[in-house]
């Protein structure tokens, strides 16, 4: 606000998905950079004089039989049982699985899972988008992560492991509509793995439902 008063150009660069804000508390920015089209629309509405831009993300084709699991920030957010269930499913279908730690993660579950299933850990030097572009996975898996939004924009189907009662009321991005829920849509995920011809149709639906 002080910068605005003296005519200094201001830029808001989100490093993750944005929270909902009121018009009264949202300061004016000349430029706002966001991850999702829903966020772009939201900020264009509450700050019509700002230049709101989507981070540019490349749509992928020729995806490979790989999965990236984007781990949560803390072990207590993640169920080892649920992770084991989904790992067992994808490994049976001969998918190569990679684990990606959150930059702030300090737990022990990641190493335990990686060792138990002999999984490769993606280096922390690569962010979510870089990891997706490098590995070209067919699926991404995670818990309320910006990476799931980036995956969908890259053309990779995201699967959410969040509990059914997880509260996403803070988020502009509609997580539950834009991901396949392991809790609610497990059978649909099974069908998708059995019949890969459903992939393009499922991807298109997630983008608009």
Report pLDDT digits (tens) over 40-54: 999 999 999 999 999
| Strand boundaries in 59-150, DSSP class E | 66-70, 96-100, 120-121, 139-142
| Backbone torsions φ then ψ of 160, nearest 5 degrees | -100, 135
Q: How far apart, in Å, do the first and last CA atoms of the chain sit?
A: 37
pLDDT band at 4 (very low <50, low <70, confident <90, very high): confident
Which residues are registered as beta bridge partners of 50? none
Look at residue 118 and tell me whether its pLDDT is greater than 90.
yes
3-state SS assignment for residue 171 = strand
What's the average model confidence in pLDDT over 87-104? 96
Residues 17, 88: one domain?
A: no
Cβ-count burial of 13 within 10 angstroms (0-12 exposed, 13-18 middle, 19+ buried)?
Answer: exposed
The sheet with strand 180-181 has its strands ordered as 120-121, 96-100, 66-70, 139-142, 157-160, 180-181
171 Ramachandran zone, left/alpha/beta (phi>0; psi -120 to 50): beta
Residues 25, 74: one domain?
A: no
Residues 106, 35: one domain?
A: no
Residues 93, 11: one domain?
A: no
Residues 24, 97: one domain?
A: no
Look at residue 124 and tell me whether its pLDDT is greater than 90.
no
101 lies in which domain range? 66-208
Look at residue 24 and tell me whether its pLDDT is greater than 90.
no
Neighbours of 111 (CB within 10 A): 12
Q: What is the pLDDT of residue 161?
A: 96
What's the average model confidence in pLDDT over 65-71? 97
Look at residue 11 and tell me whether its pLDDT is greater than 90.
yes
Look at residue 22 and tell me whether its pLDDT is greater than 90.
no
* CATH at 169: 3.40.50.2000
Residues 36, 89: one domain?
A: no
pLDDT digits (tens, 9 = 90+) for 126-144: 899 999 999 999 999 999 9
Question: Is 60 among the domain residues?
Answer: no
Look at residue 26 and tell me whether its pLDDT is greater than 90.
no
The torsion of the CA quartet 51, 174, 158, 194, rounded to 10 degrees, works out to -140
Element (H, E) at 189: helix 186-194
Q: What is the pLDDT of residue 166?
A: 87
Question: Is 59 among the domain residues?
Answer: no
Look at residue 125 and tell me whether its pLDDT is greater than 90.
no
Task: Name the token pair of 63.
Answer: 């995806």
Cβ-count burial of 163 within 10 angstroms (0-12 exposed, 13-18 middle, 19+ buried)?
Answer: middle
Q: What is the pLDDT of residue 159?
A: 98
């Amino acid at each position: 606000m002080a910068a605005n008063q003296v005519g200094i150009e201001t830029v808001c660069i989100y490093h993750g998905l944005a929270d909902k804000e009121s018009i009264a508390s949202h300061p004016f920015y000349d430029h706002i950079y966001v991850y999702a089209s829903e966020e772009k629309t939201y900020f264009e509405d509450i700050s019509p004089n700002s230049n709101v831009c989507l981070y540019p993300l490349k749509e992928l084709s020729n995806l490979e039989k790989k999965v990236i699991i984007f781990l949560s920030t803390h072990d207590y957010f993640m169920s080892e049982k649920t992770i084991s269930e989904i790992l067992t499913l994808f490994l049976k279908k001969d998918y190569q699985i990679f684990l990606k730690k959150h930059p702030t993660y300090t737990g022990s579950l990641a190493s335990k899972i990686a060792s138990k299933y002999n999984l490769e850990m993606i280096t922390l030097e690569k962010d979510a988008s870089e990891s997706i572009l490098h590995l070209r996975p067919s699926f991404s898996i995670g818990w309320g992560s910006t990476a799931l939004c980036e995956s969908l924009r890259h053309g990779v189907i995201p699967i959410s492991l969040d509990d059914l009662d997880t509260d996403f009321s803070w988020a502009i991005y509609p997580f539950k509509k834009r991901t396949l829920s392991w809790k609610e849509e497990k059978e649909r995920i099974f069908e998708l793995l059995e019949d890969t011809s459903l992939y393009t149709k499922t991807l298109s639906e997630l983008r608009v439902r």
